[in-house]
Structure 1
Amino acid sequence: MAHGQRLVGLGPSQLRRWLLLFFLTLLIPSGVLIQQSYSQLKWEAFHQYRVQAEELSTRINDRLMRLITEEEKRAFTDYAFLVVAGEATAGFVQRSVLSSYPVNTSVPGVIGYFQVDDTGRFSSPLLPAPQDQAVRYGIADDELNQRLALHVRLQQILSENLLVQSSGSGRDRDRLKQRLDESPRRESTAGLSSSGKGARIDSTMESDSADQPQAAFDQLNQADAKRQLEKKSSGSKLLGRVEDLKLDRRFESRLAEEQAAASPAQKLQQNEQRSIRKERSVLPAPASIMAENETDAGEPLTSQGGVRIHTFESELDPFEFSLLDSGHLVLFRKVWRDGRRFIQGLLIEQQAFLQATIADLFRETALSGMSELTLAYRGDLFSTFSGKSPKSYQSRATELSGALLYRNRLAAPLSEMELIYSVRQLPAGPGGRLVLWVAITLILVLCGGFYLLYRLGLRQIELARQQQDFVSAISHELKTPLTSIRMYGEMLREGWASEEKKRSYYDYIHDESERLTRLINNVLQLARMTRNGLVVECKPVAVTELLDGIRSKIGSAVERAGFEINLRADEVAAKTVLMLDGDSFSQIMINLVDNALKFSARAEIRRIDITATLERGNQLVLTVRDYGPGVPRDQMKKIFRLFYRSENELTRETIGTGIGLALVSQLATAMGGRVDVINQQPGAAFRVIFPVSAANDQCGE
């Protein structure tokens, strides 16, 4: 009983608090363990993809370095239209490899090659000097027009970026338009020379340069504050700054030491590979070519061993790279010859170059499915690639999100360009799904266990409270009749009762003893059910016999309570035979009648109706109806619970222990039937239903 008292003292709110504490005690360590496991899997996946990003960056860098190395191998003379092939003493003049049209090069997106001398003269290997001799080199008029257009486009791009100065009068554009408007059919170069000499565009167009016409190229790689301000004010198409990236850097700190240790060695190695290169070059003397053109103007140039050549030594600086304000890329170098400086380089379309050298390699890897690759130049973001679609570019730095996976600078001359990998969605690795399922299962088990323990605890608290109420009720139910029996017995023994009252005293003692007998039988039946010792012996019994037995057992008690009993059965039901346990059935009906008498004691109609009917489905229904207040709707299912009472033990007005209706329900179930209650107007009707056809099979199960 001490355990029951402790349960009764524990309220639902206290139970919730204790269970919640127990739940958190299990949940918090489990959650920390799962979080640590999942974080470790995330870290391993991050490291795996970072290794892939490093390998991809190396591949991109190697590919770009191969392209630049091929360009650095080009001789100073390749940027001219004509070069000398063979030995210097016995060579012959031929067209340069860069004079082909369309431009033939391994660098993707190249617009064309150019050269700027120390006086600011712009030239390209696309056009010969003089241009009216183009037919001698196998260049048709249509192709010459296209070469002229590309030549002017190169100069315009450099002019827009203030690298060279365009002609102030605009005669270059006028001459190009005049050249394009001329008839494409010409019979000979001589006719062009005599009639259209003024329409020729010189390949070394002069410009009104300043004292240092090449100074703009020197300033390209000077990332000072003034240049950054000019770039922003010019409306260049940049995504923003690297500092504007809202990237999660929680993994970066764990890799800081490794990245810091690798970067200096890599940069040192890259710088060691680049140095000034010296070469010995030969070019045909311009005067020699002009003299030859005047003597053999009508013959194609093949091999001219007598052409005078000019031999010289030149120093070639490594290539430099820059992103122009117009969005074009420029790769250029400085060449020193006879105390003069020349700028040689090539203009590149940005997207075509990046697509072929970076984006295509990026989309071939697994990184494209979970990350984005952003390119930065001097801290400015200017392009981003994603594996979602070939044209998935962002327009602002704030649109780039995720965790920083890897960032690395390319080798010189692209050292100002940085590759930034950001993770859109980092997979947790092979065991990540298992950890998630374990976490979900654990949470469900803990929540389910918490709920079940809470419900079980509430039932135990309620059961302990009901048991205490039962003990209180049974004590009251036993003590009151025993006290009355003892009192009337002493009065009869002492002869204090008259002859008229002796009869009523004997009747009262008899009724109270029967009530005690019923109460004790209920308690014993409850004990047997608690020990799973309830055994019913079903025998065939006619309904009429059952009703007669009920009348004999409860008739006198009903009449003494001042009630009238009404038993009836329809003709079909009266002939029905059921397989029932007679004692159990009698206990069911006695408890139902006793319950009706208690709760309808103040009813205006003092009658108990017991009826037997055979309803559809071959079911026999025995109904016990009273004319009392009925059963509240919210208690119709609760009244069949063990120890349940609709009234508080301190305020209840009816006698009882709360086990009568529970015994009715369990005994009916043991014999294959069921019991329910419905409200009438007035009163309540308790119905005990037995299926006739299945009675033999279900009784006793």
Structure 2
Amino acid sequence: MGHGNRLTGLDPTRLRRWLLLFFLALLIPSGVLIRQSYSQLKWEAFHQYRLQAEALSARIDDRLRRLVNSEENRRFSDYAFLVVSGDPGAGFLQRSALSNYPVDSSVPGVIGYFQVDDTGRFSTPLLPAEPEQATRYGIATDEVNRRLALHERLQQILGENRLVRSNGSGRDRTPSGKEVEQTPGEPSPGVPAVGLSDSGSGSAMEAERADQPQAAFDRLTEKFSKRQQAQAPAATAQLGRVEDLKLDRRFESRLAGEQVVAPAEEQQRGAQRSVRKERGVLPVPAPVVDADQAVRPPASQAGVRIHTFESELDPFEFSLLDSGHLVLFRKVWRDGRRLVQGLLIERQPFLQATVADLFRESALSGMSELTLAYRGDLFSTFRGKNAQGYYSRAEELSGALLYRNRLAAPLSEMELIYSIRQLPAGPGGRLVLWVAATLLLVLCGGFYLLYRLGLRQIELARQQQDFVSAISHELKTPLTSIRMYGEMLREGWASEEKKRSYYDYIHDESERLTRLINNVLQLARMTRNGLVLECRPAGVTELLDGIRSKIASAVERAGFELRLQVDEAAAGAVVKIDSDSFSQIMINLVDNALKFSRGAAIRRIDITAALERDNRLVFTVRDYGPGVPRDQMKKIFRLFYRSENEPTRETIGTGIGLALVSQLATAMGGRVEVINQRPGAAFRVIFPVCASP
């Protein structure tokens, strides 16, 4: 009883609050544990992808270093059109390897090679010192024109970046006599050397260049101040600055002890690049030779002077020009004079072959992006395999910062930045997510089931409390009346006329108490699963005759008329039921009809038996009262359910009669249902027929 009192004091709102508190008490620690597990898996995945990024950066760096080393190994004399092969005293004159056309180089995207002397004169190994003699070295006229065009292109690109004096407009003739464009005041395209002057600029900077023609190359490798970086041309900062990147640095910040610049080994390799000395020879001047043939006899016998010299070659330096081209150049010291030798490179083919191809071949391209920065400016981005579109500004780059690394010298101003848009946690992460989803589903399902169970228990406790109150009322009222009328009869206070009514009242109340006690006992047996029904074949007429004898007097004393009607088709039908249970069903239905139709205009109870299709026998008990509300048609067959609150109820009853009707009908293979009539309600008890006429 104490447990029931605790339940009745717990309303649905308080139940929800307690269950929610219990739900959160389980969910929060579980969520924290799952989050920590998932974060740890993502942290491990970050380490794995970071190692892949480091390995990829090392591959890119190694490839670029090998390309630079191949250019480092070129001799000073390779930048001339003719070179001496073999021993200087008995060698042969031949064309330089850099004089081939189209330009043949291991560096992807090379436009061409160039040389600028200390007077600012520009030359390329594509043409001899006297271009009109090019045809005498086995070069066709059409090819000479193409070489001149490439010569002018190299000169123009360097001129646009203020490294040499660029061509203007005008016309001149090539060695073959064809007219080509020529800039006024500039040498003809046939002259491969041009000096820097201050004409056309009018600025102090140009005047300075006239005094120091190679100073522009020195400024290419100067360290930029923040102000100069902010004023960098758009060609070198297409996407913005590295500081503008809105990347998540949580994982990177946990690696505070690791370097984010070039490793010490790479820095040491860069530091090992030093000035190289070599001995070289050049013909002065170079003789004319037949096509694709070296000159014999030896140069000393051919009347060609050979100049032997010693030169110092500085390591190559790298820069990104304002025009977007790349330049790789070195300073060479010869006979106290400084020359600049180098090569111009198209940026896109160079980066595609050295960076993009390696990136897209790696597993990283499936989930990350690679951005290149030069001196803090973002100038190129390579997206993953499945990415679409392109970026136009740094703010569009999102995700987590995976790895940053500077390349080795001379490309140390270039930085590789790996970002990962969505860091996968791998198979272990999917398992954790499945466990989390399952746990959440179990918790939510358990919360819902416990809530429903709690509501049912609260309702059951309330109904049981109402039942105790109702049964007390149902027992106390008739017992008090029976005692009162019994005392009056015992003491002789009743007249002969009233004795009959007193006896009838005592009899009716005794019958009602008997029905109540039978219902309670039946309920107790069904609750203990001790109900044993003996179902036997019985005829419809026999059943209804038995019912008439049990309920007729009670109906008449209540002031109602009882009508029994059996269809012809149903008169001979036989059903297999328990007679006592069937009688209890019909008595409960009639008792329920009498209680709820006391104020009806038509005071009649109809009991009918009809044989319907599918060989079903239907017993109907109909009253002419108010009927059953639609929202309670299923609820009235629940145990202890009453359509009225206990303190305000106007009818008598315990709330177990209709529940017993439903359970007994089901136990005998039938069912019960209610249908509203106009007026009243009809309770239909349906049984299968085992034999019919």
What is the TM-score when the length of structure 2 is the normalising length?
Answer: 0.94
- 2:202 aligned partner: none
- 1:432 aligned partner: 429
Contact 1:136 1:301 in 2 (8 A): no
Uncovered stretches (5+) of structure 2, i.e. residues with no partner: 181-186, 199-209
- 2:508 aligned partner: 511
Sort the Cα spacing of 1:675 and 1:40 in 2 relative to 1 into closer, same or farther, 3 A: same
- TM alignment of 1:174-185, pairs within 5 A: 174-175=172-173, 181=179
- 2:225 aligned partner: 224
Once residues 541 and 84 of structure 1 are traced to their aligned partners in structure 2, the CA distance between those partners, rounded to angstroms, is 131
Contact 1:368 1:386 in 2 (8 A): yes
The CA deviation at 1:88 is 1.5
Sort the Cα spacing of 1:667 and 1:389 in 2 relative to 1 into closer, same or farther, 3 A: closer
SS of residue matched to 2:405? strand
The CA deviation at 1:312 is 1.0
Candidates 462, 465, 468, aligned match of 2:459: 462
Contact 1:178 1:199 in 2 (8 A): no
- TM alignment of 1:243-262, pairs within 5 A: 243-259=243-259
Tell me if 1:488 matches 2:485: yes
The CA deviation at 1:490 is 0.5
Runs of 4+ in structure 1 off by over 6 angstroms are 296-300
- 1:203 aligned partner: 192
Q: Deviations over 1:465-508 (max 9, x none)?
A: 11000000000000000000000000011111111111110000
- 1:316 aligned partner: 313
Once residues 82 and 229 of structure 1 are traced to their aligned partners in structure 2, the CA distance between those partners, rounded to angstroms, is 45
Range 304-313 or range 396-405, more displaced: 304-313
Contact 2:675 2:682 in 1 (8 A): yes
- 2:532 aligned partner: 535
- TM alignment of 1:68-217, pairs within 5 A: 68-167=68-167, 170-171=169-170, 174-175=172-173, 181=179, 201-208=190-197, 210-217=210-217
The CA deviation at 1:136 is 2.1
Contact 2:574 2:691 in 1 (8 A): no
- What amino acid sits opposite 2:667 in the alignment? A
Q: Deviations over 1:516-554 (max 9, x none)?
A: 000000000010111111111100000111111111100
- What amino acid sits opposite 2:569 in the alignment? V
- 1:699 aligned partner: none
Q: Deviations over 1:149-207 (max 9, x none)?
A: 11111111111111111245x34x6557996558xxxxxxxxxxxxxxx9661111233
- 1:187 aligned partner: none
Sort the Cα spacing of 1:650 and 1:155 in 2 relative to 1 into closer, same or farther, 3 A: same
Sort the Cα spacing of 1:490 and 1:380 in 2 relative to 1 into closer, same or farther, 3 A: same
Once residues 356 and 421 of structure 1 are traced to their aligned partners in structure 2, the CA distance between those partners, rounded to angstroms, is 18
Tell me if 1:583 matches 2:580: yes
Tell me if 1:352 matches 2:349: yes
Once residues 427 and 635 of structure 2 are traced to their aligned partners in structure 1, the CA distance between those partners, rounded to angstroms, is 53
Once residues 174 and 672 of structure 2 are traced to their aligned partners in structure 1, the CA distance between those partners, rounded to angstroms, is 109
Q: Deviations over 1:78-99 (max 9, x none)?
A: 1111111111111221100000
Range 212-221 or range 370-379, more displaced: 212-221
Tell me if 1:339 matches 2:336: yes
Sort the Cα spacing of 1:543 and 1:180 in 2 relative to 1 into closer, same or farther, 3 A: farther
- 1:28 aligned partner: 28
Sort the Cα spacing of 1:299 and 1:349 in 2 relative to 1 into closer, same or farther, 3 A: closer
Once residues 487 and 405 of structure 1 are traced to their aligned partners in structure 2, the CA distance between those partners, rounded to angstroms, is 96
SS of residue matched to 1:258? coil
- 1:678 aligned partner: 675
SS of residue matched to 2:295? coil
Candidates 605, 608, 612, aligned match of 2:609: 612
Range 507-516 or range 614-623, more displaced: 614-623
Once residues 391 and 13 of structure 1 are traced to their aligned partners in structure 2, the CA distance between those partners, rounded to angstroms, is 53
- TM alignment of 1:353-368, pairs within 5 A: 353-368=350-365
- 2:407 aligned partner: 410
Contact 2:237 2:377 in 1 (8 A): no
SS of residue matched to 1:484? helix
SS of residue matched to 1:460? helix
Sort the Cα spacing of 1:79 and 1:230 in 2 relative to 1 into closer, same or farther, 3 A: farther
- 1:558 aligned partner: 555
Once residues 456 and 278 of structure 1 are traced to their aligned partners in structure 2, the CA distance between those partners, rounded to angstroms, is 93
Contact 2:277 2:311 in 1 (8 A): yes
- What amino acid sits opposite 1:598 in the alignment? K
- What amino acid sits opposite 1:70 in the alignment? S
The CA deviation at 1:426 is 1.4
Once residues 589 and 244 of structure 1 are traced to their aligned partners in structure 2, the CA distance between those partners, rounded to angstroms, is 87
Tell me if 1:305 matches 2:292: no
Range 200-209 or range 370-379, more displaced: 200-209
- 1:471 aligned partner: 468
SS of residue matched to 1:205? coil
Q: CA RMSD in A?
A: 2.0
Once residues 150 and 96 of structure 1 are traced to their aligned partners in structure 2, the CA distance between those partners, rounded to angstroms, is 17
SS of residue matched to 2:400? strand
Q: Deviations over 1:537-575 (max 9, x none)?
A: 100000111111111100000000000011101111111
The CA deviation at 1:17 is 1.0
SS of residue matched to 2:646? coil
- 2:439 aligned partner: 442
Range 301-310 or range 249-258, more displaced: 301-310
SS of residue matched to 2:614? coil
The CA deviation at 1:225 is 4.2
SS of residue matched to 2:486? helix
Contact 2:619 2:685 in 1 (8 A): yes
Contact 1:639 1:661 in 2 (8 A): yes
Once residues 152 and 566 of structure 2 are traced to their aligned partners in structure 1, the CA distance between those partners, rounded to angstroms, is 118
Contact 1:383 1:393 in 2 (8 A): no
- 1:657 aligned partner: 654
Uncovered stretches (5+) of structure 1, i.e. residues with no partner: 183-197, 696-701
Contact 2:83 2:95 in 1 (8 A): yes
Once residues 129 and 462 of structure 2 are traced to their aligned partners in structure 1, the CA distance between those partners, rounded to angstroms, is 114
Sort the Cα spacing of 1:247 and 1:115 in 2 relative to 1 into closer, same or farther, 3 A: same
Once residues 8 and 292 of structure 2 are traced to their aligned partners in structure 1, the CA distance between those partners, rounded to angstroms, is 122
- TM alignment of 1:386-397, pairs within 5 A: 386-388=383-385, 393-397=390-394
Sort the Cα spacing of 1:619 and 1:56 in 2 relative to 1 into closer, same or farther, 3 A: same
SS of residue matched to 2:451? helix
- What amino acid sits opposite 1:281 in the alignment? G
- 1:376 aligned partner: 373
Tell me if 1:398 matches 2:403: no
- What amino acid sits opposite 1:16 in the alignment? R
The CA deviation at 1:129 is 1.8
The CA deviation at 1:255 is 1.3
Contact 1:596 1:625 in 2 (8 A): yes
Sort the Cα spacing of 1:542 and 1:389 in 2 relative to 1 into closer, same or farther, 3 A: closer
Sort the Cα spacing of 1:433 and 1:693 in 2 relative to 1 into closer, same or farther, 3 A: farther
Once residues 238 and 200 of structure 1 are traced to their aligned partners in structure 2, the CA distance between those partners, rounded to angstroms, is 34
The CA deviation at 1:402 is 0.6
- 1:186 aligned partner: none
Sort the Cα spacing of 1:687 and 1:100 in 2 relative to 1 into closer, same or farther, 3 A: same
Once residues 533 and 152 of structure 1 are traced to their aligned partners in structure 2, the CA distance between those partners, rounded to angstroms, is 111
SS of residue matched to 1:255? coil
Once residues 391 and 596 of structure 1 are traced to their aligned partners in structure 2, the CA distance between those partners, rounded to angstroms, is 77
- What amino acid sits opposite 1:542 in the alignment? G
Range 302-311 or range 244-253, more displaced: 302-311
- What amino acid sits opposite 1:276 in the alignment? V
- 2:270 aligned partner: 271
SS of residue matched to 2:254? helix
- 2:40 aligned partner: 40
